[in-house]
Amino acid sequence: MPEVFVRGNDVARRFQTGIARVDALYPASFVVCGGDRIAIVGPSGSGKSTLLHLMADLDAPTSGELAWPALGISGTLRPTRIGVVFQAPSLVPTLSVVENVELPLRLAGAVTFARENALRALRTVGLDPVADKLPDELSGGQAQRVAVARAIVTRPRLILADEPTGQLDQRTAEETIDALLAATEPTGAALVVCTHDSSIARRMRMTWQMDHGRLHAPNVGTAHTGTASGPDASSAERR
Ligand SMILES: Nc1ncnc2c1ncn2[C@@H]1O[C@H](COP(=O)(O)OP(=O)(O)OP(=O)(O)O)[C@@H](O)[C@H]1O
Ligand SMILES: [Mg+2]
């Protein structure tokens, strides 16, 4: 039985600004298990980032329940168990590239080999030569790859990457996905990637489709409302 890393039961997120209301995620049920490779695809504004932030425990659902049974996340453990690549630029501008990558290790108190591990993560994305630069001195694509290095530096069990290849040419995009897969495959970690790029989605084993806040994914429990697609679609059975 694969370990359940994230389980969502009827999870919904509504944003309310004054009288304006957006149902970014209608009630959705899903699981992410160890070893999963999931692409979340869908048009702009369909709720992909909203779902990813909920799975990262960076946002709270308006209703429904989320649990991380096999990750045991709480407090300072979260940055080491879940690695997140944000869609928007997220590097700390006053820290060098290598200091940015070290940050999750330092926050978790793992300071001893922080520099070595950060440089190794930068090497995996081909950016060790810019270790001492400031984020402002990088191209958008380089900054995105530094964010990937920061997400994998703690060897997390779950990697959640929001458009990690959005600003990259096809070859660099493939290399970045290679780095994310290399960081997950040997350890049985799970990888969830939001992407508009069908060639990146094909590198995952399963595709979850989002449309106007509705998730079509392998559901758990009795309220089955969607299907998985892709070569691993039958894995919905094991859940
Ligand atoms: N903090 C917020 N406050 C109000 N509305 C929000 C907020 N965050 C997201 N939304 C709205 O929720 C909906 C889903 O947004 P989300 O960012 O999840 O879409 P997305 O699928 O990631 O889009 P993209 O492909 O452009 O990144 C959109 O209508 C968006 O405007
Ligand atoms: Mg998004």
d(CA 61, CA 50): 10
Q: How far is the CA of 129 from the centre of ligand 2 (A)?
A: 30
Residue with CA closest to ligand 1 atom 26: 44
Residue with CA closest to ligand 1 atom 28: 45
Fold of 35-60+72-210: Rossmann fold (3.40.50)
**Ranges of residues in the chain whose predicted pLDDT is under 70:** 73-79, 218-239
Neighbour count for residue 127 (Cβ, 10 Å)? 22
Q: How far is the CA of 45 from the centre of ligand 2 (A)?
A: 7
Which residue is associated with the tokens 């096999």?
Answer: 70
Ligand number with the minimum distance to the CA of 196: 1
69 lines ligand 1 (CB under 6 A): no
Say what the pLDDT of residue 79 is.
57
| pLDDT tens-place string over residues 188-205 | 999 999 999 999 999 999
d(CA 237, CA 233): 8
Q: What is the pTM of this model?
A: 0.89
Contact between 40 and 210 under an 8 Å Cβ cutoff? The reply is yes
Q: How far is the CA of 85 from the centre of ligand 2 (A)?
A: 11
The structural domains of the chain, with segments of one domain joined by +, span: 35-60+72-210
Q: How far is the CA of 36 from the centre of ligand 1 (A)?
A: 25
Say what the pLDDT of residue 231 is.
37
49 lines ligand 1 (CB under 6 A): yes
185: tokens are 């495959």
Residue with CA closest to ligand 1 atom 12: 24
Q: How far is the CA of 44 from the centre of ligand 2 (A)?
A: 7
* DSSP letter string, 183-218: HHGGGT-EEEEE-S-HHHHTTSSEEEEEETTEEES-
Residue with CA closest to ligand 1 atom 16: 47
Type of residue at 188: G
Pocket of ligand 1, candidates 26, 50, 85, 212: which has the most ligand atoms within 8 Å of its Cβ, to mutate? 50
Neighbour count for residue 31 (Cβ, 10 Å)? 23
Ligand number with the minimum distance to the CA of 197: 1
